[in-house]
Structure 1
Amino acid sequence: MADHKKTGFTCSDVLLIPDFKEAVVLAGASGMQRMINRVNVMEVPDVIDWVRPGEFLITSGFPFRDQPEAIADIIPQLVEKGVSALGIKTKRFIDHIPDRALELADQLGFPIFELPAATVFSDVVRDIMERVLVQEARELSLLQSRFQKLSQQLLYGKGLEEFLQTLDGILNNPIVLLDDSNHLFLSPQAEEIVEADNPMLWSGLREESSLGVSFITLGERRIRVYVSAVNDKQYDKCLLVLLEWNQEHSVVDRLTIDRVGVLVGLEMINANARREVELKYVDQFLQDWITGRIVTIEDLKLRAEACGHALDDDQTRHVALVRFLNVKPSIRTMQQAIKRLRTKSRCVGLQATILEGELVLLFAEEMHGIRNERMEAIHADMKVVFPAESYSLCIGNRTEAAEKVYESYNDAKKIHHISSICDYREPYVDYMKLGVFQLLYHLPDTEEVQAYRDRFILPLLAYDAKHNSQLFETLKVYFKHNRNVKKTSAELFTHYNTVSYRVERVCELLGISMDHGDDVLQLHLAMKLNEMRPA
């Protein structure tokens, strides 16, 4: 018979318990991983349909009186159902527990107790439930103590950082909080083992069919985690994750994580509300500054200091508009990008806001700074929030006076307009890259300019209107693709012979030749002048 004092449990050494109070003690000190929370009596063969997780199942052996070997058949089913242990009374209906059942229980880590014939089941129920209730009372007291301590901490404005530090110490395991923007908040132990720049590892936990126990790999170590949703509808995508790094999770640890989710949700609402108010003040300041509504440098410095942006006079500044080349993101997406740029920008001093529906950047550079390095830093920031090659930065001329930043903004708007017309797709565009198209944009709309433009454009528009054709549209796409007939036909969804015919028809109407360089140049300039004409 097994030594009752040992902490391990081997079913092949059946525990014969003369006093069931001792059995309960052994169950708590043995290698069982399941907690007993109730007792169930099995005296029918189909009891498997009625058992529940956490039960200690006891039987007189009556269901197996004719087939003791059937005990082995039911053990895997009991394990699957989450039953904690099995107690079998011998000598009355069965002489002993079959060896096959004990071997199978050993393999599955499922405890079996041999109960003396004199055992009274009501005594078993009473003894176990007394201990279960005492244990539950202790756990509830511990849970309440933890919850009270953590709630007091947040009540006095300690914030999420100190909250996670305290929770880390209480549970002696790392804690990770993932918000709805995939931003990670890490407890002190988590900071040592978790890569903050890899939020996708944690956001993947949202895809699990249900929250609770899961597994992840950190470095070369596979660990168990307990995942709980922050208990607030506004933040139903936020996760609180307890890592099993130093010690196993207890039931109270998991209950603690579930309960404090309410506190975390409330604190995130408060923090988000404060942040939104602060961001509104910062946005209003940036918008007033960039558009020139703050007239004097004294007022500008006061507003900047109030928003936490002290001005450095020894800087030149640029304003850039972000031109999205394919699909323009929603305002909400741009607002999320602004939050990311303000909190984790690699470009020191980079500011962002939304003006007239466009994402606007304001950045400074030292008087003798290297502009290419600054642009690389900005693009590194942008690539984090938007796909590469999906945008172009339209950069206004630099200004050395902080109160004259609006001039750079006006430049950026013009560059944005011209680059849209000319479909520039370089990573960034300024006046130098616009070349001759800058001159066309700034040409006054005089009678001479109108006459030059109309000489090429009006005959095409009149022909299209009369014959329901597409000469003008074809010509636009033709120049867009640098006179490539194949690419033009692909964009227009028409045969390349049709494109060639239309181009020839344009030449006939205008009396020009596409083989003559000056003719091509004049026609192209007329097309751009028409696109840049005032609405």
Structure 2
Amino acid sequence: MGLNVEEMLNIDIFSGAKLLGGAAGLGNEIKGATIIEAPDIVKFISGGEVLLTRFYAFQFCTAEEFDSYFQELAQKKVSAIVIKRGNDVEHIEEKVKYILDFAEKYAVPVLEVAFELSFREILRPILERLFNEEVRRLKYFKTTHDNFTALAFSRGSGEDSIQKILDVLEKLIDNPVALFNQNMDYLAGTEGCKTEMAISDRAKEYQPKFYSNYTYLKQKVILTKEACDEYEQFIVKWRVMYNRRVYLVITASVSPFGDMDDIAIENGVTALKQEMFRQHSVEELEEKFQNDIITQILNGNIHTRKELEREVKQLGIPLDANYRVLLFKLWNEGAGTFEKLNEQFKFDSILRDAVVNEFEDVRVRNDVDQVIVIQQISQEQKQEDYRKELKNTVEKIQKRICQKNKNLKVRAGVGKEVEGVLKLSDSFKEARDSLEFINIFEKPNAEQSHHIVFFSDMGIFKLLCKADNPEELYEYIPESLQKLLHYKKQQRQELILTLNTYLDRNQNLTKTAQELFIHYKTAAYRIDRIVKITGIDMNNASEVLAVRIGLIVYRMIENMKK
């Protein structure tokens, strides 16, 4: 079953290949074939292989590094080199010239094939001539595994390793690939990939021809509204850590899905999983460290400028710039609260991702079920423009959230603008009070509701925020309303709700009855009862205003008790 380079050229796939140099080595025996898509793959070559490369592995390497790789190949005694020339590689002609000199010196034939020809198509007939089906698949598994392993070894601290893994996978399977997070938000991808994903109800589980550690789905998709052609799409899903799910999407829009593509995908997913775990671990450690600093600053636990300078340096933000603190929280209109912890985690993750995507250059911190944003403010921007911009941003966040769950409503509390990091604690307290007041001002099921509350817009209620206990707040409730709050427990809440609705509807009984889904006479009867119990003069504007404020204070007290 032996095969040499000259015999390999008689295989149909090489009918259009050009012999560029190294003719003296046409008799070289071929012991295998492998693809070079990562520079350190040379460490995994045992000798006698046909090497396939489009120079992507050597895209940015220096002349010295390029020479070092090929000196190592000379020692391994490779059989032949098959190249494709792409326009995305720097100094490609110089590199081709070097390879041709190498070919003549070491009698290694160099063949050039059409750029459109995939290496998978080239590799398959070579392996078929050398090995049986089972060994062929194992050899291809090793080839793809070695490429991704070499990529991991060659990783630099400043390189986008995930993007490189996706690029290599795309070259191996000759189809665009994309990566999405647990909320199906686009993370990264190759040229021509879809940046949106959805799992159809008609998607079916797909089983590769080997045992897999991952879940595969297969579905049909239409790429554009203009084109009606359907393409096969493969989705691989796995968990990185805890509840963080990741999706790899492969759309067979360039080449049909081959029987060895699932081998390349399996190795690609394993490489992605390991790299994402590594990155997540580093990010989690950095985030925890930064979160501890942010917590200290927001709670006002840093008192000296020297200590503050040291901590702020770790956050990478200016010490004396102007800042605001914004606080975001989700309200689940369908259920009010989240019943399960993993449901809470999922929705908090959706909120954080939406905030990070819509804000630029901010510091974000999760605090239980809230997302804290420290935003640097431009002194040149007018207050009116800032408010308009923030409103648009929150609307975009809300839109992103609604795409995941229509019952989720975004709420945002905004603190004042402060000068310097040292005063961030003041803005944070205001943002927290503002967010709490949204719960008080809004009805949970209100169709029309404010998504943002600026502390500076709260008027007299800013004074009430200074109260530390329910007893102190209770003093702000008029004596007349206090009588209703002490009325019979069975009827108290019903009467309080009726009074609140009646005042919200400008003392219009018809609208009150419609809002509460009760008969007009029932609404009139309840208001008469309230007047008899409390003695409130509904025609006295000052007294009515005091009662309205008292109802809000009552909700504040109930919130405080919770």
Which letter maps to 1:352?
V
Greater Cα shift, 208-217 or 404-413: 208-217
What is the 5 A alignment of 1:452-531? 453=477, 455-464=479-488, 470-486=494-510, 488-489=512-513, 492=516, 494-531=518-555
* CA 1:135–1:482: 2 relative to 1, 3 Å: same
Tell me, in whole angstroms, the C-alpha distance in 2 between the residues paired with 1:212 and 1:334. 24
Cα deviation for residue 503 of structure 1 reads 0.8
Assess if the C-alpha contact under 8 Å between 1:180 and 1:237 holds in 2.
yes
What is the 5 A alignment of 1:360-399? 360-369=372-381, 370-376=385-391, 378-387=393-402, 390-399=409-418
Assess if the C-alpha contact under 8 Å between 1:342 and 1:351 holds in 2.
no
* CA 1:384–1:340: 2 relative to 1, 3 Å: farther
Tell me, in whole angstroms, the C-alpha distance in 1 between the residues paired with 2:304 and 2:155. 38
* CA 1:328–1:276: 2 relative to 1, 3 Å: farther
Provide the secondary structure at the position in 1 that maps to 2:222.
Answer: strand
Which of 176, 179, 189 pairs up with 2:178? 176
Which of 128, 132, 140 pairs up with 1:142? 140
Tell me, in whole angstroms, the C-alpha distance in 2 between the residues paired with 1:440 and 1:297. 32
Cα deviation for residue 412 of structure 1 reads 2.0
* CA 1:281–1:342: 2 relative to 1, 3 Å: farther
2:91 corresponds to which residue?
none
1:340 corresponds to which residue?
353
Tell me, in whole angstroms, the C-alpha distance in 1 between the residues paired with 2:263 and 2:488. 74
Tell me, in whole angstroms, the C-alpha distance in 2 between the residues paired with 1:206 and 1:306. 49
TM-score of the aligned structures, taking structure 2 as reference length:
0.60
* CA 1:512–1:317: 2 relative to 1, 3 Å: closer
Cα deviation for residue 406 of structure 1 reads 0.5
Note if 1:257 corresponds to 2:272: no
What is the 5 A alignment of 1:80-479? 134=132, 136-157=134-155, 159-187=161-189, 190-191=190-191, 193-196=192-195, 198-200=196-198, 203-204=199-200, 207-210=203-206, 211=216, 214-219=219-224, 220=227, 222=229, 224-225=231-232, 227=234, 229-230=236-237, 238-307=246-315, 309-311=316-318, 313-322=320-329, 324=331, 326=333, 327=336, 331-333=344-346, 335-337=348-350, 339-341=352-354, 343-345=356-358, 347-355=359-367, 357-369=369-381, 370-376=385-391, 378-387=393-402, 390-423=409-442, 425-439=449-463, 453=477, 455-464=479-488, 470-479=494-503
Tell me, in whole angstroms, the C-alpha distance in 2 between the residues paired with 1:506 and 1:375. 42
Tell me, in whole angstroms, the C-alpha distance in 2 between the residues paired with 1:156 and 1:255. 22
Which letter maps to 1:503?
I
1:51 corresponds to which residue?
none
* CA 1:244–1:493: 2 relative to 1, 3 Å: closer
Tell me, in whole angstroms, the C-alpha distance in 1 between the residues paired with 2:239 and 2:456. 52
Q: Deviations over 1:450-475 (max 9, x none)?
A: 67735213332444359878433432
Cα deviation for residue 483 of structure 1 reads 3.5
Tell me, in whole angstroms, the C-alpha distance in 1 between the residues paired with 2:365 and 2:262. 42
Q: Deviations over 1:27-78 (max 9, x none)?
A: xx9xxxxxxxxxxxxxxxxxxxxxxxxxxxxxxxxxxxxxxxxxxxxxxxxx
Tell me, in whole angstroms, the C-alpha distance in 2 between the residues paired with 1:175 and 1:256. 12
Tell me, in whole angstroms, the C-alpha distance in 1 between the residues paired with 2:240 and 2:476. 63
Unpaired runs of 5+ residues, structure 2, are 1-10, 16-127, 207-215, 444-448
Q: Deviations over 1:410-451 (max 9, x none)?
A: 122222333432328323212443234335555899999967
Tell me, in whole angstroms, the C-alpha distance in 2 between the residues paired with 1:245 and 1:299. 57
Assess if the C-alpha contact under 8 Å between 2:509 and 2:520 holds in 1.
yes
Which letter maps to 2:541?
G
* CA 1:362–1:486: 2 relative to 1, 3 Å: farther
1:32 corresponds to which residue?
none
Assess if the C-alpha contact under 8 Å between 2:183 and 2:350 holds in 1.
no
Tell me, in whole angstroms, the C-alpha distance in 2 between the residues paired with 1:428 and 1:383. 11
Cα deviation for residue 359 of structure 1 reads 2.9
Cα deviation for residue 312 of structure 1 reads 5.9
Greater Cα shift, 272-281 or 335-344: 335-344
CA RMSD of aligned residues (A): 4.1
Provide the secondary structure at the position in 2 that maps to 1:167.
Answer: helix
In the comparison of the two structures, how many residue pairs are matched?
401
Unpaired runs of 5+ residues, structure 1, are 1-24, 30-129
Query: Identity percentage over the alignment?
Result: 17
* CA 1:409–1:170: 2 relative to 1, 3 Å: same
* CA 1:269–1:204: 2 relative to 1, 3 Å: farther
* CA 1:284–1:224: 2 relative to 1, 3 Å: same
Assess if the C-alpha contact under 8 Å between 1:324 and 1:390 holds in 2.
yes
Larger radius of gyration: 1
Which letter maps to 2:145?
F
2:44 corresponds to which residue?
none
Tell me, in whole angstroms, the C-alpha distance in 1 between the residues paired with 2:177 and 2:236. 13
TM-score of the aligned structures, taking structure 1 as reference length:
0.63
